[in-house]
A and B are shown apart, each in its own frame.
Chain A
Amino acid sequence: MPILIRFRPRPGMDIDPALDRRFDADEVRIGRSPESDLVLRDEALRFHHAVISQSDTGIRIRAVGQERDEIALDAVGDSVVLGSHSLTLAPPDAEGPVLVIEPCAGGEDAATLSARYLAGLELPRLAVRRWAWGLALAVLVLGFLVPLASTLLPSSRGLIAAAPAALRPSILWQVGTMSSAHAGFGTECRSCHETPFVPVRSSACLACHAGTGQHVDPHRVPGMDLAETRCETCHHEHKGAVQAIREDQGFCVSCHGAIRRQFPASTLADISDFGRDHPEFAPTIVTDAATGATSRIRLGTPGPWPDHGNLRFTHAQHLAASGIKGPDGNRVLTCPDCHRPDASGAQMQPVKMERDCLACHQLQFEPSHPEWHLPHGQPEEVASRLLGFYGSAVLAGERFDPVRDALFARPGEAPTPAELPQAAAHSAAAAAMASSIARAACGECHATVAPAPGADPLAWTVPPVHVPASFLPLARFDHAKHTSVACQNCHASETSDGGPEALLPGISICRQCHAGAAGDGQKIASPCVSCHVYHHAELAISAPGGVPK
């Protein structure tokens, strides 16, 4: 029986009788292939898609190449979809089964495709407002409010401490690297910035830097009271890991380049650079032995200077190349035999008699008793020690030549022999005192003053020795930094039989190695602060409002 296949051209249309086709064969091949019996141009169908055949009850549709994939349409109205077509079993006509083929609804047509494509080409709508708000809030909260909260709300420290360290003001707000000296407590902004919007007060600095001194005595130079100035004026913080100390000498020269322009009464010389116009050094010298009063004398002033240190000493004698007599024979002394650096190495310790001199200067005085030594102390102590020596000797029956008393005999009087032991001891002690204090044991180095006529012959006095700790107190010199240079390169000690005018190096010695701030070829750049300090500790800055006397 032939199969009648009828078509609906479009979904929903009626069957078009003009398209009816009747197949007499047992099998009808369906596919896209032009060789198919029924050509359906449907991209969902294969080239050779299926075979339609008759069954006892209706129609069977078998996929090509897959013999078991078979569908049976048995009852009228049974339907199968092949690609985008549906095949439905219609009531058979007189000649045989009838199959209706119609395209299915759906699939993309040109209009929907266009709409989809056009929509895809619309520019994405960027949510500018939302992003702007987001960024603004993120910056505000993370960059400002969270750090602010940690400074304002000490009670919330625990909470703030939980926030990442990068959100702390010490990191997020820090305008620049802190100086290494302050970095240790720099994480706590309020250790210096005590009050918001108020510049750092000097009191915050002085809390640690308590000993900081004035530059000049504000009573002598009005208008130069550092208690009236904020430290931060000169000492800038957050400018890098270097110390917040001013090393540029332009700051110094701004006044000292022409000092009388600002301070007409000043007696200081104008100076702009160590290498260029620094005056010769002017050591501070004791010029009045009685009071110890000092004054500055410029090196180069012809000597001998009025040096009244109350000490008799020459370096030339002690440092003689041929040596000097010592307890163990002749010995050549060198500088370190007497001068020892202090703990920092910067300066020399004061020379100590007991340590540095006593080995040679053993303070013997009685030829018949070389085992007797005087103490290095006050004259009263010496006198009592002498009385002790001689008293015990006289009691032991020893006699001392009374001729010595002749020294103290009044004019016209014969020396009285010492009959009593007490008188004998006293007279011997007085004689020893006179000879040793005036000449030998003490007087060899010290200036001595004899007792007034008629006074106790033992009441000698020794004026105090004035050897300054530093001859250039306004400059800093570090011996430790100069150990590569022999002492004699700067100090002409072997030939010196005089005072500081011969021993202290002049500026030309320094300039052999040191140039001014700009340096000079191979020389060391040395701005003012290489040697000078600005704050003089002896003039302590007090509370704002002035420095008490």
Chain B
Amino acid sequence: MSEAPPIEIHTPVLAYGRGRWAWRAALVALASVLLYLFDRPDEPPNGGTALGYTLGVVGLGLVCWLAWFGIRKRQFGPGGRPLEAWLSAHIYLGLALLVVATLHTGFHWHGNIHTLGFGLMVLVIASGGFGLLAYLRYPALAAANLDGADRRKLVAGIVALDLDCRERSLSFDDRAVALVRAATEMPRLAPRWGDFIRRDPVLGGPTEAAIAYLRGTLLGEAALPPDAVLPLVLALTQRATLIERARRDFRYRLLLTAWRSVHLVLSIGLLVALISHVVIVFYYR
């Protein structure tokens, strides 16, 4: 399975309008950095200096505008900018927000609601960044993984091989039957959390034990004819490959959608923390 190039449809979002939003966002970030570097407040840089307030207001505006995308993208119908433009701006201005808000803090972080808001914002941007990378990477990988098939076909193949393996195993001794049964008895086809870290889970464990027994004991020690044993070994291997593909498909689909849930949940938390931050700052002036 070779790395396919990113699917065509994703390119215009990042390069929308010849990257005009990239330029604008970069300008915002660069201007903030330059102002910060050349600002000489009469106290350590923080959110309360003139520049700190300015960056705070800009950051607040950016957060509200970025959050508005969650509503805008659900409004279908003609009129307004195309959604690609919104998404492009959402991505680039979200990255610029990281710069603006960090400079707003003046790099002062403590265990309080203000820093909580900042931390939530960082997590929201990080999850969005992950989502962007996922969209650039996983659709192509997912397509290559399915290779023209779909989930149903994969499952049908797995089931057929399950039954085939069990049937074939009946010709061998009790231990072979038990091992093949254990290998093909899979209460849960979807990967577990640990499988997201371990890369090659199916061909370990029971399947490998069964194959080892078939090869080592039956084919080797008992010297059963290869014509009888090898088709079962092959079926077990094919089954593992199919499961691997099904799991990989599951993982791609999960990664392509789960980040959005995290992004959304944290965004709501961020909005509440941000409003609290603004109210508190003016509550105790």
Contact = CB atoms under 8 A, between A and B. Distances in A.
Interface of A: 32, 34, 41-43, 46-47, 110, 113-114, 116-118, 120-121, 123-124, 126, 128, 131-133, 135-136, 138-140, 143-144, 166, 169, 171-177, 189, 193, 196-200, 236, 238-240, 246, 248, 250-251
Contacts of B249: 121
Given A117-B189, A196-B283, A236-B43, A123 B173 contact: no
Interface of B: 40, 42-44, 46-48, 108, 110-114, 116, 151-152, 155-156, 158-160, 162-163, 166-167, 169-174, 177, 181, 188-190, 246, 249-250, 253-254, 257-258, 261, 264-266, 268-269, 271-273, 276, 279-285
6 contacts: A32-B177, A41-B167, A43-B181, A135-B268, A144-B272, A169-B284
A236 B279 CA distance: 20
B261 A118 contact: no
Given A121-B190, A172-B113, A239 B264 contact: no
B278 to A, nearest CB: 11
Nearest to A41: B170
Contact of A43 (B160, B170, B269, B271): B170
Contacts of A117: 155, 158-159, 189, 246
Nearest to B246: A121
Contacts of A246: 42
A197 B285 contact: yes
Contacts of B42: 246, 248, 250-251
Given A117-B155, A121-B155, A132-B265, A197 B116 contact: no
Contacts of A177: 110
Contacts of B162: 113
Contact of A171 (B112, B159, B266, B280): B112
A117 B273 CA distance: 42
Contact of A136 (B43, B48, B257, B269): B269
A110 B166 CA distance: 12
A114 B156 contact: yes
A65 to B, nearest CB: 11
B269 to A, nearest CB: 4
A459 B167 CA distance: 140
Contacts of A198: 285
A168 to B, nearest CB: 11
A46 B172 CA distance: 10
Given A47-B172, A175-B47, 5 more contacts: A110-B160, A118-B151, A120-B190, A135-B272, A197-B282
A197 B283 contact: yes
Given A120-B188, A121-B155, A236-B48, A175 B114 contact: yes
A251 B41 CA distance: 11
Given A41-B170, A43-B170, A171 B111 contact: yes
Contacts of B269: 132, 135-136, 138-139
